[in-house]
């Protein structure tokens, strides 16, 4: 009996979708625009996140060791820092590497290189490049480095300086930019999704308003709430699935065209690659949103006319 | 079978649609309810369908107080009542066949029963050749006959016909009245509201006359007198 009723509800929903072609087309179009907006938000957020992460990755603080510091002690400190929860990565640059990098950077500056040759010893200390998970966490990492926890076993300091104070202004500014970027992205996402959903909801409500007399007739014939509401929900789900498929199909040529351009402008994120790598998630989000909007809108819109 | 016990309906302090109505209808009766517009005829039928709630009194369908029933019980009662309206009230996106099948589906009838009963009932109202036509492809008389077929397909206890001939020409009016009489002859209660004197006089059944929400005459073999 349940299967028979379900079968009839689905058949009736498909029939309503097919036969009320004008209303279905209008609802599909609005749903398509809604899902396209949601899809665009997904891609925009990916670009924003990628750009912010790139900016974030460029920020670090450097721990300069005294030239007298022993490599073993420095590596012990590196391990200690790596264990901090707020630290994402620590790179050790030995004295020799620091010297080689300096020489490479100043390859065209013969005077500087000559001056360097005249020194008896390597003047560069080893360096730890410390990258925190979030820019706002650098203050904590710097405070730790200045504390007693990083002293050697003998209690002697081996850190010459930490350049956090010099970079503080830049780090704080970047932190603010990243936080503002995220907040703005979230606000725009919420507002756009809300507007899209409201527009879609109202279109479906209007489509059901057209059928309000028919709902009354169904009631008077003795149809149960499920039997009346079910086909409308099925129709709403169909709007979501079809509009979702159309949206995903349209995004393909669009990201194919945008891919190379975004990788040039947005810190290396290629939208085509992103679309292909995250295809299943994108399909689930877009079609899932369509199905949710369609079914919930229909469910709520019919309720008003079921009071007879 | 049907009992209106001191039923009143007041919309606001000025508008009284029904005023202390009491009457009963027994099985197999054909009752015509007549009266001017605004006399309360349609409100009375709406009470029976639980479309409207009375502000006083009780409406019984069998032993049930209709307005004390739960939603799913009201649905069950409505499946035992066939309804016919002046404006036909067919589902516009369904064919004649599907409109009638819909009434059977909501009553939980099987696909086999539907496949056998719907063509049969359409033949009864002489529309077997138009079963796949949509309402907009049918004339007024044909639409009303589809509505009648829908009303009787579940073999209801009662058929309620609210001004069923109001939009029809004399020929179709005659056809509809004959079908309603045939339904009544088969043992179904028919409650008919009408303005049409000719219809009432043709039926020669019980006539309840209403005025300003009150029953002013209840004549077992009456005529249309206003």
* Interchain CB distance below 8 Å, A224 and B72: yes
Q: In the numeric block, which tokens belong to residue B168?
A: 């029809």
* Interchain CB distance below 8 Å, B103 and A214: no
* Interchain CB distance below 8 Å, A217 and B108: no
* Interchain CB distance below 8 Å, A223 and B110: no
Is residue A115 packed enough to be buried (19+ CB in 10 Å), middle (13-18) or exposed (0-12)?
exposed
Instruction: Tell me the ipTM for this assembly.
Output: 0.84
Strand-pair category, B2-10 with B16-25: antiparallel
- Give pLDDT tens digits for A39-74: 998 888 888 888 877 777 777 888 888 888 888 888
Nearest CA in chain A to B154: A221
3 state DSSP class of A68? coil
Is the pLDDT confidence value at A204 over 60? Answer: yes
Q: In the numeric block, which tokens belong to residue A25?
A: 């087309």
- Residues from chain B contacting residue A220 (CB–CB below 8 Å): 49, 51, 78, 83, 89
- Residues from chain A contacting residue B73 (CB–CB below 8 Å): none
How far apart are alpha carbons A110 and A61 in whole angstroms?
29
- Residues from chain A contacting residue B77 (CB–CB below 8 Å): 222
How far apart are alpha carbons B159 and B139 in whole angstroms?
22
Range A159-168 average pLDDT: 79
If one compares A160 and B83, the residue with the highest pLDDT of the two is: B83
* Interchain CB distance below 8 Å, A221 and B105: no
**8 A C-beta contact, residue B153 and residue B122:** no
Model confidence band, residue B215 (pLDDT cutoffs 50, 70, 90): very high
**8 A C-beta contact, residue B90 and residue B146:** yes
CA-based torsion, A183, A187, A192, A198: positive or negative: positive
For chain A, positions 162-221, list CB contacts with chain B under 8 A.
213-214, 216-221
pLDDT of residue A149: 58
Nearest CA in chain B to A2: B108
How far apart are alpha carbons A36 and A124 in whole angstroms?
56
- Residues from chain A contacting residue B102 (CB–CB below 8 Å): 218, 221, 223
How far apart are alpha carbons B26 and B157 in whole angstroms?
11
Q: In the numeric block, which tokens belong to residue A133?
A: 């998970």
How far apart are alpha carbons B143 and B126 in whole angstroms?
12
- Residues from chain A contacting residue B107 (CB–CB below 8 Å): 222
| Nearest beta carbon to residue B106 from set A16, A224, A308 | A224
Alpha helices, H only, chain A: 2-19, 21-58, 71-82, 95-105, 110-118, 138-146, 164-210, 212-221, 225-265, 271-277, 279-303
- Residues from chain B contacting residue A225 (CB–CB below 8 Å): 71
Model confidence band, residue A193 (pLDDT cutoffs 50, 70, 90): confident
DSSP chain B: -EEEEEEEEESSSS-EEEEEEEEEE-TT-EEEEEESTTSSHHHHHHHHTTSS--SEEEEEETTEEGGGS-HHHHHHHHHTEEEEETT----TTS-HHHHHHHHHHHTT--HHHHHHHHHHHHHHTT-GGGTT--GGGS-HHHHHHHHHHHHHTT--SEEEEESTTTT--HHHHHHHHHHHHHHHHTT-EEEEEES-HHHHHHH-SEEEEEETTEEEEEETT-----
Phi, psi (rounded to 5 degrees) for A127: -135, 145
DSSP A247-307: HHHHHHHHHHHHHHHHHHHTTT--HHHHHHHTHHHHHHHHHHHHHHHHHHHHHHHHHGGG-
- Residues from chain A contacting residue B84 (CB–CB below 8 Å): none
- Give pLDDT tens digits for A76-113: 888 888 888 888 889 999 888 888 888 888 888 888 88
**8 A C-beta contact, residue A198 and residue A297:** no
* Interchain CB distance below 8 Å, B108 and A1: yes
* Interchain CB distance below 8 Å, A220 and B49: yes
Polymer length of chain A: 308
pLDDT of residue A266: 66
How far apart are alpha carbons B192 and B203 in whole angstroms?
10
| Nearest beta carbon to residue B93 from set A5, A16, A221 | A16
For chain A, positions 4-63, list CB contacts with chain B under 8 A.
4-5, 8, 15-16, 19-20
For chain B, positions 82-121, list CB contacts with chain A under 8 A.
83, 89-94, 102-103, 105-108, 110-111
Q: In the numeric block, which tokens belong to residue A141?
A: 């990492």
pLDDT of residue A154: 64
Model confidence band, residue A299 (pLDDT cutoffs 50, 70, 90): very high
Listed by start position, the domains of chain B span 26-50+81-219
Report the largest interatomic distance among the alpha carbons of chain A, rounded to a whole angstrom.
Answer: 104
Q: In the numeric block, which tokens belong to residue A254?
A: 């669009």
- Give pLDDT tens digits for B192-202: 999 888 888 88
Is the pLDDT confidence value at A192 over 90? Answer: no
Model confidence band, residue A237 (pLDDT cutoffs 50, 70, 90): very high
Listed by start position, the domains of chain A span 2-55+175-306, 67-157
3 state DSSP class of A61? strand
* Interchain CB distance below 8 Å, B79 and A221: yes
Mean pLDDT of chain A: 86
pLDDT of residue B196: 86
* Interchain CB distance below 8 Å, B89 and A213: yes
B26-50+81-219 CATH fold? Rossmann fold (3.40.50)
* Interchain CB distance below 8 Å, A218 and B51: no
**8 A C-beta contact, residue B163 and residue B176:** no
Neighbours of B109 (CB within 10 A): 18
Range B140-151 average pLDDT: 94
**8 A C-beta contact, residue A60 and residue A131:** yes
How far apart are alpha carbons A201 and A293 in whole angstroms?
7
How far apart are alpha carbons A19 and A25 in whole angstroms?
11
pLDDT of residue B134: 96
- Residues from chain A contacting residue B49 (CB–CB below 8 Å): 220
| Nearest beta carbon to residue A222 from set B51, B75, B91 | B75
The percentage of chain A sitting over the pLDDT mark of 90, rounded to a whole number, equals 29
Low-confidence winner among A257-271, B65-79, B158-172, B192-206 (lowest mean pLDDT): A257-271
Is the pLDDT confidence value at A151 over 60? Answer: no
Is the pLDDT confidence value at A264 over 80? Answer: no
Interface test with A, best of B67, B75, B150, B158 (most A CBs within 10 A): B75
Polymer length of chain B: 226
Is the pLDDT confidence value at B153 over 60? Answer: yes
B222 to chain A, closest Cα gap in Å: 30
The percentage of chain B sitting over the pLDDT mark of 70, rounded to a whole number, equals 100
Range A135-152 average pLDDT: 74
Chain B interface includes A223 (CB < 8 A): yes
**8 A C-beta contact, residue A255 and residue A43:** yes
Beta bridge partners of A127: A64, A93
**8 A C-beta contact, residue A144 and residue A164:** no
Is the pLDDT confidence value at B113 over 70? Answer: yes
pLDDT of residue A152: 58
Is the pLDDT confidence value at A308 over 80? Answer: no
Chain A interface includes B210 (CB < 8 A): no
Neighbours of A149 (CB within 10 A): 11
Is the pLDDT confidence value at B9 over 70? Answer: yes
B77 to chain A, closest Cα gap in Å: 8
How far apart are alpha carbons A37 and A189 in whole angstroms?
9
Domain spanning A67-157, CATH architecture: 2-Layer Sandwich (3.30)
* Interchain CB distance below 8 Å, A221 and B76: no
pLDDT of residue A58: 76
Smallest CA-to-CA distance from B148 within B166, B135, B167, B161 is with B161
Low-confidence winner among A197-201, A224-228, A237-241 (lowest mean pLDDT): A197-201
Range B141-150 average pLDDT: 94
């Amino acid at each position: 009996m349940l299967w028979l009723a379900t079968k009839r509800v689905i058949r009736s929903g498909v029939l309503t979708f097919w036969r009320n072609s004008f209303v279905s087309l209008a609802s599909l179009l609005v749903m398509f625009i809604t899902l396209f907006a949601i899809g665009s938000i997904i891609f925009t957020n990916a670009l924003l996140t990628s750009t912010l992460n790139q900016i974030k990755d460029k920020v670090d603080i450097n721990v300069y060791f005294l030239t007298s510091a022993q490599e073993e002690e420095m590596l012990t400190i590196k391990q200690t820092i790596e264990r901090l929860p707020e630290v994402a990565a620590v790179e050790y640059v030995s004295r020799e590497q620091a010297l080689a990098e300096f020489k490479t950077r100043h390859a065209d500056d013969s005077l500087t290189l000559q001056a360097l040759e005249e020194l008896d010893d390597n003047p560069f200390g080893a360096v730890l490049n410390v990258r925190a998970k979030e820019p706002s966490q650098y203050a904590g990492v710097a405070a730790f480095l200045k504390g007693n926890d990083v002293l050697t076993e003998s209690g002697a300091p081996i850190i010459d300086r930490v350049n956090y104070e010099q970079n503080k202004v830049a780090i704080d500014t970047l932190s603010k930019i990243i936080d503002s970027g995220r907040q703005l992205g979230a606000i725009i996402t919420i507002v756009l999704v809300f507007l899209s959903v409201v527009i879609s909801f109202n279109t479906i409500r209007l489509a059901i308003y057209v059928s309000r007399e028919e709902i009354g007739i169904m009631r008077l014939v003795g149809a149960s709430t499920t039997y009346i509401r079910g086909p409308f929900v099925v129709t709403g789900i169909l709007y979501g699935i079809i509009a979702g498929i159309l949206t995903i199909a349209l995004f393909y040529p669009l990201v194919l065209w945008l891919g190379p351009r975004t990788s040039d402008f947005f810190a290396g994120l290629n939208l085509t690659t992103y679309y292909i790598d995250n295809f299943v998630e994108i399909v689930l989000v877009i079609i899932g949103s369509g199905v949710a909007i369609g079914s919930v809108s229909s469910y709520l819109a019919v309720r008003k006319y079921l009071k007879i | 079978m049907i009992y209106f016990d001191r039923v009143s309906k007041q919309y606001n302090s000025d508008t009284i649609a029904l005023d202390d109505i009491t009457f009963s209808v027994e099985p197999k009766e054909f009752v015509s309810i007549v009266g001017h517009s605004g006399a309360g005829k349609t409100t009375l039928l709406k009470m029976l369908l639980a479309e409207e709630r009375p502000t006083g009194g009780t409406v019984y369908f069998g032993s049930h107080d209709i307005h004390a029933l739960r939603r799913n019980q009201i649905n069950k009662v409505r499946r035992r009542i066939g309804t016919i309206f002046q404006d036909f009230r067919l589902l516009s996106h369904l064919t004649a066949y599907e409109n009638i099948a819909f009434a059977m589906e909501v009553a939980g009838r099987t696909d086999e029963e539907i496949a056998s009963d719907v063509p049969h009932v359409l033949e009864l109202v002489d529309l077997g050749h138009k079963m796949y036509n949509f309402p907009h492809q049918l004339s007024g008389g044909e639409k009303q006959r589809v509505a009648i077929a829908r009303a009787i397909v579940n073999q209801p206890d009662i058929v309620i016909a609210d001004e069923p001939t109001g939009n029809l020409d004399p020929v179709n009016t005659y056809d509809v009245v004959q079908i309603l009489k045939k339904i009544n002859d088969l043992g179904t209660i028919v409650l008919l509201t009408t303005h049409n004197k000719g219809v009432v006089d043709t039926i020669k059944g019980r006539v309840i006359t209403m005025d300003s929400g009150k029953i002013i005459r209840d004549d077992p073999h009456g005529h249309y007198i206003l």
